[in-house]
Amino acid sequence: MINKKPKVGIFSLASCEGCIVQILNLEDQILDLLSKVDIVDFRVLKEEKEKAPLDIAFIEGCITSEKDVKKVKELRENSKILVALGECACTGGKFLVKDFKNHENPLQLKEALVNAQPLDQYVTVDYYLYGCPIDKNEFLELFKNLLIGKTPRPKSYNVCAECILHEKACLIEAGLPCLGPIIRGGCNAICPSVGKECIGCRGLAEDANIDSLIEIFQKHKIEVPSFLKHLQKLQKSEVERR
Ligand code: SF4
Ligand code: SF4
Ligand code: SF4
C-alpha cells in the first residue's frame, strides 16, 4: 500500500490533452479522489509544487523531443509507479503517422526533435491505460486500485466480449466493418453500443486473429480495409521472425 497521502503528478507531453479532459469529466468523483492525494503537478489545475519523489506519475502524450526524453527519464527515476495514459503515451498514437523528426519543423519548435515514440521506448511503464481518449471509468478504477495497493490486471479480452453484454445485433451482420474482434477491450464497447463500428482506438488485443476477421468481412461482403491487410502482413512477418 502507498503512503497515507500519496504524491501524485499528472503530466502531458505531445498530445491533444483529450485524456486529461476525460479525467476532468469525472467531475465530483475526481475531486473526491484528488482530495485523498497530494497533487504535486497537474497543469490544468495550475498545481505545481515540489515534484520528487512521487508515488504515482500519470503521463499523457507521446515523446517527440529531447526535452520530453529528459522529463520522462526524470519522472521514472523519481516515481514509484508510472502510468501511460492513452494511445499517444502507450503506442505513440497519431504522432507516429506524422513523425516530426522526419518532416520540416512545422510548429517551429525550438527544442531538438526525436522520432515520435511511446513512453516505453525510453522508460519502464508499470501500467497502460489504452484508448483515444482513455475511458474515464477505467482511469478511476486504476487510480483507486493503485491507492489501495491492489495490482491492476491488464485486460486480455476483446471489444466483442463487452459488446455482447449490451445484447445488441452485431454490426458485422449488418455489413459494417467493426474491428471489435481484434481490438483490446476495456471501453465497455462504447461505440458498437450506440451503433458505431469499433475503429480500434485501443490497439490490438492479445492473440488478435486478423486472418479470421478478414475472412468474416469477406463472408459478409464487407470491403477489407487496406490497413487490415497491412497489419496481417506485419503479424505474419512477426510470427516468422520469432
Ligand atoms: S490518446 Fe488521443 S485523446 Fe489522448 S492525448 Fe492522445 S490524441 Fe489526445
Ligand atoms: S458489433 Fe463489433 S464489437 Fe460488437 S460483437 Fe459485433 S464485431 Fe464485436
Ligand atoms: S469501441 Fe473501439 S473505437 Fe470505440 S472506444 Fe472502444 S476500442 Fe475505441
> What DSSP string describes 163-206?
HGGGT---TTTTT----GGGBB--STTTTGGGT-----TT-BPT
The alpha carbon of 239 and the centre of ligand 2 are apart by a number of angstroms equal to 26
Q: Is residue 237 pLDDT above 90, yes or no?
A: no
Q: What CATH number was assigned to the domain covering residues 7-147? A: 3.40.50.700
Q: Which range is least confidently modeled, 99-108, 132-141, 153-162? A: 99-108
| Interatomic CA distance for residues 109 and 101, integer angstroms | 11
Cβ < 6 A, ligand 2 pocket:
159-160, 163-164, 170-172, 178, 180-181, 189, 192, 198
Averaged pLDDT, 9-27: 92
Residue 238 confidence (pLDDT): 73
Looking at residue 25, its pLDDT comes to 93
Q: Is the pLDDT of residue 50 over 70?
A: no
Q: Are strands 54-60 and 63-65 parallel, antiparallel or unpaired?
A: unpaired
Ligand of minimum distance to the alpha carbon of 132: 1
Mean pLDDT (whole number) for 206-231: 93
Task: Compute the average pLDDT of residues 19-34.
Answer: 90
User: So what's the pLDDT on residue 231?
Assistant: 86
Q: Return the pLDDT at 126.
A: 97
Grid cell listed for 96: 507516429
Which ranges in the chain are annotated with CATH 3.40.50.700?
A: 7-147
Which residue's C-alpha comes closest to atom 7 of ligand 2?
180
- Centroid of ligand 3 to alpha carbon of 202 (angstroms): 6
Query: Is the CB–ligand 3 distance for residue 159 below 6 Å?
Result: yes
Instruction: Give residue 86's pLDDT.
Output: 95
pLDDT at 6: 92
Phi, psi angles (nearest 5°) of residue 220 = -95, 15
> pTM of the entire structure?
0.85
Helix, strand, coil % over all residues of the chain, rounded to 5: 40, 20, 40
Q: Is 83 helix (H, G, I), strand (E, B) or coil?
A: strand
Please tell me the predicted confidence (pLDDT) of residue 47.
Answer: 60
